[in-house]
Structure 1
C-alpha cells in the first residue's frame, strides 16, 4: 500500500474499496475530498463501470432519466437523449473517474477473494486473486448486486449448436441482422433486446414465462441547442434532476409500494392497464401480454416502444412452457418448435451474492456465509454485526425500484462517512452495529416487506430464498432520514 495520508482529524487510515462501478467510484471521490490518499479500489474486471462495463447488449438503455442518473456533484450536459444508452453511461463514469483523480487508485484484474479481520489490531487483511495481501483499516464493499449472471436450468441448453450467450456476456462480433433469434427472459433486459432486434433480425421469438406490466414513458433526443443550454446554465439540469416531475414520481412510486391499496397504486395500475389495452391491437396478443399479478410486484418495465416492437411482423411472443433446447432451436411443451440461429439468455443475475464468492471472516472468526445463511442482510443496508469497519454501498435490504441508485449510494456514503469519523477521531478503533439493533431492524423490515407490493404474489429477483422481499420496505423519505446521521447507541464502538 502507499504511504498513509493524514485526515483533517490527524488519524491515519487505510482503505480497500471493492468494485470500480458507480458506488466504488463514488467512494474514491468522497475519500479524496476528505484528504484521504491511502486507498485502493480493487476491480475484478479490466475496466471500470461495473454493470455498465459488463452489459453492452443491443438496446441497452437506463430507465432512469439521464440527468437524474448522475452524481449530484457531476452534472452532464452532453446526454444525447432523455434516457441514456449504456455506452454513454459507461463513458460518463470513465470521465468522472478521470476528472476526480480516482483512476490511479484502481487496480484492475484484481478480484478480492478474501477479507479477514484481526481482532488484536482491528485491521482487515484483504487477499487478491493473485495472492497478494493488503492490510487496511476500513473495507468499503461496493461490489453491487447485478454482476453474477444467472443461467436458466433448461434441459439441453448445452446442446444448442447456434450462438448462445447471456445478455451480460454479449459478444459484439455476433451478427443478428437477418438471423432467427430467441430471447429468454422478460425483465428490462429482455424487453430492450427484443425492441432493438425487431425489424432488424429475420425473426425474434420472445419467450416469456410471465409477461410484464409496461409503464409508458416519454422519450426524446436532446438537440445541439439543448446541450448548449445545459452547458450555459446548470440550473436547467438541476430542474430535471431535482424537479418535481422526477421526484413526485419517486414519491408516488414508493408510496404505492408500501400502501398497496392506496390511491397511488391504483393510479399506477390504471396507467399500465390502459397502456396494454390501448397499445396492443390484436386481442390474442393482448392476452398473451397480460400479466396475472399486480403492477410493480416485479420491477416495473419503463418503455416507450416495446408494445410497438412486439407487434412487428418479425416478432413472435411465446408464453408456453419450454420443454428443452435442441441443437437447432427450442422445443415447447406442446410439441411446437422454434428454429433458431441465436439464443439469448436475458435471465438476470444471482442477486443474493453481493461481495461473494469472496470469503469474509469478521470478529472472533465470524463467517459472512454463516451470517447470511438464511438471507443476505445488513443493518440499514450498510453494516453487519460481527464485521467491524466493514461497510456496504447498495448492500442487502437497500431501496430498490424505478429510481436512481446513485442517489441511494450518495446518501449511504454520507452515513458511512460519519461512522468512519469515529475512527478518524482516534477515539475508537472499530465500529459495528450491535446484534440487538440488527435483530430489531430485521424483524421490523421483514414484517413490513411482506406487506409491500413486492410480496403480493409473484416471482421476482427482489425475493429471497424464503420469498421475503429483500428490500427497504418503507418510504424514500424514511430512508433519507435514516441516512442523515447514525444513532451511535445502535453501534458497538471498540476503543
Structure 2
C-alpha cells in the first residue's frame, strides 16, 4: 500500500485519545489520524461491559473539564452512561472521519534521516507521522492466570473484560478467579442467579463504603439552569479526593482512619468470624488498590457463595482442584484477574534512535519523563504513561495535564527549523529519581504485591504525590529539558 503521511498519529480512541484529538481540532490542526484496534471508540469503557460495570471516580470529575456533562444520572456513573459520554464528544467534535477503526499497530520506527515515524499496522499498511501520541492506557490487555488443565475444562470460560452476555449463568456452578475491582462489581449482580458461586481469593482487599446515589430532580434542574454549579460541584469533588492522598502516606493519621473505615465495613456485614478473618487484609490500606462498594460484603456472605484461599492446583473437565485436595464443581469459570499493566505498550514494538527498542529500555521497569516522554524516542509522547496512574483522584485530570503539555510540544515543532524534540536523559533520570524517592513515603511502595509494581517490586504505574504537584510540573513545557534537533 502507498504510505500515508500525517502530522500526528494518535494510538487508541479511549478517553486519552479522544481528548487529544479534540484539542488538536480546537487548535485548528486537522492533519492527524487516530488508529484504533477496536470497532468503536471507548477503550476500557467499550470493552468492560460486565454486569455492574462502573467507575469508582465520581461522574462529574470523570469527564473533560472543557466538556462537562450536566445530566449525570448518579454520583458514580455506570459503564453505559460513560460510554454514551464518549460517543457524545466524538460526535460533537467531529472525530469519526479522523479515526481508523479495526486498525491495530504492530510497530513504530523512527527514521533519523527524515525525522519521521513509520507506523506499520498488523494488516501491513504503513503510515508516516511527525509526532506519535500513544493513548493505549494501562487497562486494555486482559491478564489470564497460568493454571494447569484449563484447556481440558468442558464448561464455559471467559475474562470479565470479555463478558459473554449470550451465556446464561442461571443455576450454574460458577467459579470466579480473582476478587479485585471488577469482581466486586459483577459478583453482587450474578450471585442470586447462580446455583453456587466460588470465589478464589489470593489476598483480601480493603473495601470502603461507596457514597453513591442518583442525583435528585432538584439537583439535575439546578445543574441544567446554572452550569456554574457543576463547576463548583466538580471542584468540591476534586478537593475531597485530593485530600485522600494523605491516607496513602505510610503510617499517617489518615491512613489509620482509612483502615478503621474498612474494618467497620467488614464487621457491619460479615458476622462469621472465620469468613471475617479470611477477608481481613494483612497489609496497609492502599498498598493494593482500595475498593469501594456497598454490596460486595453482603453478596459474598450469602449461603450460596464461598470464598476459597487455598491456591489452585489444576482444572479438570468439571471442577477446580485446590492444593488442599478439595474439588470445587464448576460449569463456568470467570477470570477476574485484571490486566497486563506494567508492560504498557506491548505487544507493539517501538524503535527509536539507533534502532533502540523501547521494550529493552524498559527491561528493568517502565519510566518516562513526567510520564509522557522517553529519551531516545523523539517526538513520541504518551498519555496515561508510566507513573501517572492514581489511587486517590481522577485520571482524566492527569490526562488533561498531559494533553496540555504535549500540545505545547506540538506548537514548538511548528518552527520550520526544528525537526524533533528528544528529552534529555539527565532530565528524565532526575525526574524519576525524585519520583521514586517520594514513592518510598507511600503505601504503594509497601511490601505487598500489586498491579502498581513490576516483578522486581518497582512501582511503575502510580504517581507519587498530590495531583496538584503534577499539574504544577506540567503546566509549562521546559525546552531546556529537551535536545532540539534542526
Gaps of 5+ in 2: none
Do the aligned residues in 2 keep the contact of 1:394 with 1:408 (CA within 8 Å)? Answer: yes
Q: Does 1:146 align with 2:139?
A: yes
Separation in 2, partners of 1:404, 1:247:
8
Describe the superposition over 1:404-431 as per-residue Cα deviations: whole angstroms up to 9, x where unpaired: 2111100111111112221023342211
In the alignment, is residue 186 of structure 1 matched against residue 176 of structure 2?
A: no
Aligned to 1:408: 398
What is the TM-score of this pair, normalised by structure 1?
0.94
Asked if 1:199 corresponds to 2:189, the answer is no
Deviations 1:194-250 (A, max 9, x none): 12112222221111110101011212123455434332222332233211xx23332
Residue correspondences, number: 484
The question of whether the paired residues in 1 share the 8 Å contact of 2:206 and 2:262 is answered with yes
Cα drift, residue 364 of structure 1? 2.3
Q: Choose from 43, 52, 62 the match for 1:59.
A: 52
Q: Is the 8 A contact 2:245 2:392 kept in 1?
A: no
Tell whether the 8 Å contact from 1:252 to 1:264 is kept in structure 2 after alignment.
Answer: no
Deviates more, 1:290-299 or 1:439-448: 439-448
The equivalent residue for 1:103 is: 96
Structure-2 residue corresponding to 1:9: none
- Once the two structures are TM-superposed, the CA of residue 383 in structure 1 deviates from its matched residue by 0.2
What pairs with 1:173-252 in structure 2 (closer than 5 Å)?
173-243=166-236, 246-252=237-243
Matches within 5 A, 1:404-483: 404-470=394-460, 471-483=462-474
Pairing 1:42-81 to 2, within 5 Å after superposition: 42-81=35-74
Shift of 1:183: 0.8
Q: Which moved more, 1:228-237 or 1:156-165?
A: 228-237
The match for 1:8 is none
SS in 2 for 1:242: helix
User: Where in structure 2 are the equivalents of 1:56-455 lying within 5 Å?
Assistant: 56-243=49-236, 246-257=237-248, 259-455=249-445
**In structure 2, C-alpha distance between the alignment counterparts of 1:434 and 1:403, rounded to whole Å:** 30
Cα distance change of structure 1 residues 467 and 3 upon mapping to structure 2, 3 Å threshold: closer
User: How many angstroms apart in 2 are the aligned matches of 1:335 and 1:371?
Assistant: 44
Does the CA-based 8 Å contact 2:4-2:126 persist in structure 1? Answer: no
CA contact (8 A) 1:118 1:124 kept: yes
Q: Secondary structure at the match of 2:143?
A: coil
CA distance in 2: counterparts of 1:311 and 1:194, whole angstroms? 11
SS at 1:89 equivalent:
helix
Pick which of 324-333 and 445-454 moved more: 445-454
Seen in structure 2, the aligned counterparts of structure 1 residues 144 and 282 have a Cα distance that, compared at 3 Å, is same
Q: How far is 1:153 from its partner?
A: 1.3
Q: Is the 8 A contact 1:194 1:206 kept in 2?
A: no
Deviation at 1:3, TM superposition (A): 10
Find the aligned partners of 1:270 and 1:425 in 2 and give their Cα distance.
Answer: 56
Contact (CA 8 Å) 2:3, 2:126: kept in 1 or not?
Answer: no
Q: Look up the SS of the partner of 1:173 in the other structure.
A: coil
Deviation per CA, 1:99-128: give whole Å up to 9, x if none. 111111100011111111111221111111
Name the Cα RMSD after superposition.
Answer: 1.8
* Contact residue 4 and residue 128 of structure 2 kept, 8 A: no
Shift, 1:480, TM fit: 1.3
- Hey, what does 2:476 align to over in structure 1? 485
Q: What is the alpha-carbon distance in structure 1 between the residues aligned to residue 468 and residue 392 of structure 2? A: 15
Cα distance change of structure 1 residues 200 and 228 upon mapping to structure 2, 3 Å threshold = farther
**Distance in 2 (alpha carbons) for counterparts of 1:442 and 1:426:** 32
Q: CA deviation at 1:298?
A: 0.3
1:2/1:38 contact within 8 Å kept: no
- C-alpha deviation, 1:261, in angstroms: 1.8
Q: Distance in 2 between matches of 1:427 and 1:400?
A: 38
State the alpha-carbon separation in 2 of the partners of residues 404 and 491 from structure 1.
Answer: 29
Greater shift in the superposed pair: 267-276 or 288-297: 267-276
Flag the 1:411–1:84 CA change in 2: closer, same or farther, 3 A. same
Measure, in 2, the Cα distance between the counterparts of 1:464 and 1:486: 29
* CA–CA distance in structure 1, aligned partners of residues 467 and 216 of structure 2: 33
Deviating more after overlay: 99-108 vs 359-368: 359-368
Shift of residue 252, structure 1, vs aligned partner: 2.5
Partner Cα distance (1:3, 1:37) in 2: 14
Gaps of 5+ in 1: 5-12
